Structure 1
Amino acid sequence: MRALTWHGEKDVRVDEVPEPEIVNPSDAIIEVTATAICGSDLHLYNGRMPGMREGDVLGHEPMGEVVEVGSEVETLEEGDRVVVPFTISCGSCWFCENGMYSLCDNSNPNAEMASKVMGHSPAGLFGYSHMLGGYAGGQAEYLRVPYADVGPIKVDSDLSDEQVLFLSDIFPTGYMAAENAQIEENDTVAVWGCGPVGQFAIQSAWMLGADRVIAIDRIPERLEMARSHGDAEIIHFEEDDVYDRLLSMTGNRGPDRCIDAVGTEAHGTGVMGLADQVKQEAHLEDDRPHVLRQAIKCCRKGGTLSVPGVYLGRSDNFPFGSVMNKALTIKTGQTHVQRYLNPLLEKIEDGEIDPSFVISHQVGLEDGPEMYETFNNKDDDCIKVVMTP
């Protein structure tokens, strides 16, 4: 079958790879009908994520049709149309039973590798390094889905693939980010990063009762989407001092809730931003925490910082004294996707949101390598790429 595979920094190819097979009786095989490139895939593309091996199949935002199920699968059958969460979760460990699916104890066969770096291993993820399981991803014609009774959600309605595909990751991720922000009535919410996750964080902030949403980015088309579709006030961080603008917009108090939807490859400005880039390239730090520092500085005293943006390791010059002295709450984590699938599907079915608004490019799988480059460079007004194998 054809699949997008990783061959090193900025080297993604369309290769012929073996079709997946049932390995465990709880597995299912799906024929992929739609799959997307996620912003966090760019961390792999840019060589930031440890544990990648040449030939790894990429992708963690797939959906499709079930074509085979293992002997122990009870909830799916051939012909079912499903969206597959990017988190692989067993459903029976302590974390899964408590709704923390992205912290599953059993789904990462390389847990020891992750534990050496992080202290404990999170769940396995599709197409996201051998440190997080070495699972083949969904930017392919077929995908093996472990723990098939726990992950995929069936879509029985006539909603298009484009309307439901993002239940796999970015819609629940944006929603959990807003939920983690602990939004209360009359709150002002600031969202750093107007990529797809940021756009869904904006939408979700309104759903959860925000009074104002302020979006921060430097890419004109993303800012325009946040303004026109997200009804957010906007700040272009290369044209305005973000701290000064946010304070002037909030009566010098600062935003009540701040969301970092950027993560490890933040584009910082000034000397500190340049220093982060140099240190990251020299492997003196793993992440560029410019947005984290800025959000901590901007957030009002006693406020909450929510971090859905992916970070990979060490961050330098982290102002923990500010966190403590301002009494900030920080909530983070990979998304517990399975927790949100049914309620967010209901919002789509009820017409409360149509997630397809973020799609800017729809192409075939063979166009994947080119689209990785386009997305990474933010060319051609590229916000979200969906591929049809």
Structure 2
Amino acid sequence: MRAVCWHGKQDVRVDTVPDPEIVQKGDVIVKVALTCICGSDLHLYNGYVPTMKKGDILGHEFVGEIVAAGPAVTRFRVGDRVIVPFPISCGACWYCKHELWSLCDNSNPNSWMMEHIYGDTGGGIFGYSHLYGGYAGGQAEYVRVPFADVGLEKIPDGIPYEQVVLLTDIMPTGYQAAVYCNINPGDTVAVWGCGPVGLLAMKSAKLLGAERVIGIDRFPDRLQMAHSQCQAEVLNYEEVDVAEQLQNMTGGRGPDSCIDAVGLEARGTGIEDVYDLVKQTLHLETDRASALRQLVKACRKGGTLSITGVYSGFIDKFPMGAIFAKGLTLRGGQAHVHKYLPHLVKLVAEQQIDPSSIITHRMSLEDAPEGYRTFVKKQDSCIKIALKPEHAAQKSEPASA
């Protein structure tokens, strides 16, 4: 089969690799109909996530059709169209039973790596380094999906793949980020990063009752999409002092909640930006914290910081004293996709949300290297790229519901 493989920093290629096979009785093989390049994939592309190996298959956002199933699979059958959550969860451990799906105790065979670095482990993730299990990813023609009865969600008849492919990751990620804000009527939610997750976090905040959402970025096309699609007020952090402006916009109090949808490659301004770039380049810190520092400074006293951008290790000059003094609540982590997926599928079926509205580029799987270059450079107003394998391009889609 053909698959998008990592060969080193900023070097991805479409290779011919062996087809996946059923390994465990609870596995299925999914024939990929549509997959996406995630902003988190760019951290792998840029070399910021350790334990990648040459030839690793990338991708954790994919949907498709079951073409083979192990003898222990009971909830699904060959021919079912399915959504595949990016975290791999066993369904039986303490964390899965408490709906902390992305923290599964049993799905990461390399848990010792994460325990050594962080003191404990997270669950496995498709196509996201050997730190998260070394699983082959979904930017491919076929994928082996373990624990199929636990992880998969059927796609309702009549709904095209494009409307649900973002439910594999960034829609639940944005939704969880908004849930973590504990939004009350009248609240103001500020979101750093108007990329795919940030846009869907803004949409989710509105769905959950926020009166105002404010999007913060430096790219005009992204700010425009936040304004037009999410009814957000927008700030360009290169043009204003964000914390000061947010104070002015909220009567001197600050936003009730602040969402970080940027993560470890955040850019800032002035000497702070230079400081972080130099320290990250010299491996004196792993992650750039410009956005996080702004969240802490801007959020109102007693407010909530919701961290959904990916961080890999250690940051410098983090204002912990301000968090303590202001009484802030901080929540974050990989999204527990399984928890939110049935509800989000229902919202799509009822046409209350259409996550596909943020897809700006549609390409063949064979064009993935070009897609990565376009996305990482933010060229051509690129927000989100969907990739279609050749076999899927030759098959017609169901009509919209």
Equivalent in the alignment of 2:269? 269
CA distance in 2, matches of 1:276, 1:164: 37
Equivalent in the alignment of 2:321? 321
Q: Which amino acid aligns with 2:386?
A: V
Instruction: Give deviations 1:43-89, integer Å, cap 9, x for gaps.
Output: 00000000100000000000000000011011111000001000000
CA distance in 2, matches of 1:43, 1:250: 34
Q: State the Cα distance separating 1:152 from its structure 2 match.
A: 1.1
CA distance in 2, matches of 1:114, 1:76: 32
Answering whether residue 225 of structure 2 is matched by residue 225 of structure 1, we say yes
TM-score, normalised by the number of residues in structure 1: 0.99
Equivalent in the alignment of 2:152? 152
Q: Which amino acid aligns with 1:270?
A: G
Q: Which amino acid aligns with 1:299?
A: C
- SS of 1:357's partner is helix
Root-mean-square deviation (CA, aligned residues, Å) is 0.5
Equivalent in the alignment of 1:382? 382
Q: Which amino acid aligns with 1:309?
A: G
Aligned ranges 1:23-172 → 2 under 5 Å: 23-172=23-172
Equivalent in the alignment of 2:398? none
CA distance in 1, matches of 2:301, 2:259: 15
Q: Which amino acid aligns with 1:238?
A: E
- SS of 2:130's partner is coil
CA distance in 2, matches of 1:354, 1:111: 36
Instruction: Give deviations 1:296-343, integer Å, cap 9, x for gaps.
Output: 000000000000100000011111000001000000010000001100
Q: State the Cα distance separating 1:114 from its structure 2 match.
A: 1.0
- SS of 1:35's partner is strand
CA distance in 2, matches of 1:29, 1:318: 44
Equivalent in the alignment of 1:304? 304
Q: State the Cα distance separating 1:156 from its structure 2 match.
A: 2.5
Equivalent in the alignment of 2:397? none
Equivalent in the alignment of 2:238? 238
CA distance in 2, matches of 1:196, 1:174: 9
Q: State the Cα distance separating 1:220 from its structure 2 match.
A: 1.1
CA distance in 1, matches of 2:74, 2:257: 42
Q: Which amino acid aligns with 1:257?
A: S
Q: Which amino acid aligns with 2:261?
A: A
CA distance in 2, matches of 1:152, 1:168: 10
Q: State the Cα distance separating 1:15 from its structure 2 match.
A: 0.4
- Runs of 5+ consecutive residues of structure 2 not aligned to the other structure: 390-401
Aligned residues: 389
Q: Which amino acid aligns with 2:340?
A: Y
Q: State the Cα distance separating 1:10 from its structure 2 match.
A: 0.2
Q: State the Cα distance separating 1:243 from its structure 2 match.
A: 1.2
Q: Which amino acid aligns with 1:112?
A: W
Aligned ranges 1:343-362 → 2 under 5 Å: 343-362=343-362
- SS of 2:151's partner is coil
CA distance in 1, matches of 2:187, 2:308: 19
- SS of 2:271's partner is helix
Equivalent in the alignment of 1:338? 338
Q: Which amino acid aligns with 1:212?
A: R
Equivalent in the alignment of 2:22? 22
Equivalent in the alignment of 2:393? none
TM-score, normalised by the number of residues in structure 2: 0.96
- SS of 1:229's partner is helix
Identity of aligned residues (%): 57
Q: Which amino acid aligns with 1:186?
A: G
After TM superposition, which residue ranges in structure 1, 4 or more long, deviate above 3 angstroms? none
Q: Which amino acid aligns with 1:195?
A: G
Equivalent in the alignment of 2:292? 292
CA distance in 2, matches of 1:87, 1:11: 25
Equivalent in the alignment of 2:5? 5
CA distance in 1, matches of 2:181, 2:51: 31
CA contact (8 A) 2:156 2:349 kept: no
CA distance in 2, matches of 1:64, 1:334: 23
Q: Which amino acid aligns with 1:359?
A: I
- Runs of 5+ consecutive residues of structure 1 not aligned to the other structure: none
